[in-house]
Amino acid sequence: MTTHPGSAGDGQHPPHDHDHDHDHDHDHPHAPIAQETEPSYFELMETAIRELLVERKLFGPDEIRRQIEVLDSRTPALGAKVVARAWVDPSFREKLLENGREACEEFGVSFYDDTELIVLENTEAVHNLIVCTLCSCYPRPVLGLPPDWYKARNYRARAVIEPRKVLAEFGTFIPDEVEVRVSDSTAAVRFLVLPMRPAGTDHYDEEQLASLVTRDAMIGVIPVRTGQETA
Ligand SMILES: [Co+2]
């Protein structure tokens, strides 16, 4: 139990008898929003730089909010639509493999940054896997935020050293005769895997196809499945 300094016995504010900490004096009827940890170095740094840039009028809080809204609007569903279109439209597929960014932009996925997008096609002969060995570079305009494991040191280091072993841990076993190609992303160049269209989907329409395509398949750690596969 905590009480606020200055809130006990001042005649106006009865002492709190519940567990929370805040630095102002009022009674909340609602549960406190938990502040789980102290802000990290990078969180403090971000706040300091953001406040400085706003103070210098280089951009305003509304622009920051709008940019966050754009970032949050990106999900793997966008990438899945791109993949499904490539599966049904050979000329789009060709364009996509030629210039990923341009093809995506024409398809309606805007790029809010200066990154190039290279789309890597999985075939019967080549299986592609993407990684950022340095940090967490990822095709965010088409997939949104990367999963935590993508940013983990373990994945970043091992994906290039022993990709088949890493893939096996995702339940993906690549036959020896298939080449595994690992592409290392950079700040300027991002990759997206164009997975193989699964067998038995000839009668699927574009939307049904898109619903099969998952984030992990576009990173290259799993194939696209229909759920109808026999083990
Ligand atoms: Co990176």
Q: Would you state the pLDDT for residue 122? A: 98
Least trusted range by pLDDT, from 27-41, 43-57, 209-223: 27-41
Q: Is 149 helix (H, G, I), strand (E, B) or coil?
A: helix
Decide the pairing of beta strands 179-184 and 116-121.
unpaired
Does residue 104 have an active-site annotation? no
User: Taking Cα atoms as reference points, which of 220, 213, 214, 72 lies closest to residue 150?
Assistant: 220
Q: Which of 104, 137, 183, 185 is catalytic?
A: 137
With contact defined as beta carbons under 8 Å apart, do 167 and 180 qualify? yes
Q: Would you state the pLDDT for residue 24? A: 53
Alpha helix segments (H runs only) across the chain: 41-55, 61-72, 76-88, 90-98, 100-107, 140-143, 148-151, 153-161, 163-169, 206-212, 215-219
- In angstroms, the CA 173 to CA 15 distance is 62
Q: Would you state the pLDDT for residue 26? A: 57
Does residue 183 have an active-site annotation? no
* pLDDT reading at 14 higher than 60: no
Q: How many residues does the chain have?
A: 231
pLDDT digits (tens, 9 = 90+) for 154-176: 999 999 999 999 999 999 999 99
Taking the CA of residue 3 as centre, how many other CA atoms within 13 Å lie in the half-sphere pointing to its CB?
A: 10
- Looking at every residue in the chain, the average pLDDT score rounds to 88
User: Taking Cα atoms as reference points, which of 92, 100, 99, 164 lies closest to residue 127?
Assistant: 164
Burial class (CB in 10 A: 0-12, 13-18, 19+), 107: middle
Give the pTM: 0.78
CB atoms within 10 A of CB 224: 21
Q: Which of 104, 132, 183, 185 is catalytic?
A: 132
Does residue 135 have an active-site annotation? yes
**Token pair for 90:** 């050979």
User: Residue 156 C-alpha to ligand 1 middle, in angstroms?
Assistant: 10
User: Residue 142 C-alpha to ligand 1 middle, in angstroms?
Assistant: 16
